[in-house]
Chain A
């Protein structure tokens, strides 16, 4: 079973995922990210509640980060359990995504990079 919730902080959308992100959950994750990306190019996906992630959902995250970066933003991941982090490393995705220990750090990373990039993703505005 999996669950998703999204809320916006200025120009950043935080998506909280929980449960098993397997092939059953992948379409709902895809829809949640698509809705978020339609509003903001800057996403933080909080994986604190995720116990397992499979290739289907990793594929969805990969497509999501590509789209976010094409839109001038990014999709950052936070709060990975050691097991979920190992799965990402197995796929080489730890070299693709920014991985943050907390949601606050991921949000701060957007604010820190906003001065250097053309597109501003400022969670405080």
Chain B
């Protein structure tokens, strides 16, 4: 039984479905429930779309390296890229209590990632590239 799974895809939104299938299968094989597998693939989808659209984007192509593994009680997804770094702390969380007309349309993807996973962390290194790590505790 492998203890980790890795996937490398081009930075193209057409690969989002491939990423979702990969993360779902990895999550189930590493012991997450079906509901948890859905949640982690959703977080991975949001994160991957962010990287493809913001770290890369028009005029800058590259690859995403995705790794799924278990560390202790945690299911860990790591997404690496060599695109532009961005500071997620600069993105305000949407105020879900706001009336419809005033609600911001941005920041929802990041909000989902933080709600669906137990921990989300970013690291930027000009040489090694950008690394996004998301952790979720496996069910007891």
B-contacting residues of A (Cβ < 8 Å)?
1, 20, 22-24, 52, 54-56, 58-59, 62-63, 65-66, 69, 83, 87, 90-92, 96
B70 in the interface, Cβ–Cβ < 8 Å?
no
A-B contacts, 20 of them at CB < 8 A, read A20-B17, A22-B13, A22-B20, A22-B49, A23-B16, A23-B45, A23-B49, A24-B17, A52-B45, A54-B42, A54-B46, A55-B111, A55-B112, A62-B103, A65-B100, A87-B42, A90-B112, A90-B115, A92-B96, A92-B97
Which of chain B's residues 50-71 have a Cβ closer than 8 Å to chain A?
Answer: 52-53
Q: Is the interface of A mostly helix, strand, loop or mixed?
A: helix
**A91 and B14 in contact, given A22-B45, A52-B42, A66-B100 (Cβ under 8 angstroms):** no
A-contacting residues of B (Cβ < 8 Å)?
13-14, 16-17, 20, 38, 42, 45-46, 49, 52-53, 94, 96-97, 100-101, 103, 105-106, 108-109, 111-112, 115-116
Q: When A and B form their complex, what is the total count of cross-chain residue pairs whose Cβ atoms lie within 8 Å?
A: 63
Inter-chain CA distance A24–B19, complex, in Å, is 13
Contact assessment for A62 and B105 in the assembled complex, using a CB-CB cutoff below 8 Å? yes
**A54 and B96 in contact, given A1-B17, A90-B112 (Cβ under 8 angstroms):** no
The one of B20, B49, B105, B109 that contacts A52, using a Cβ cutoff of 8 Å? B20
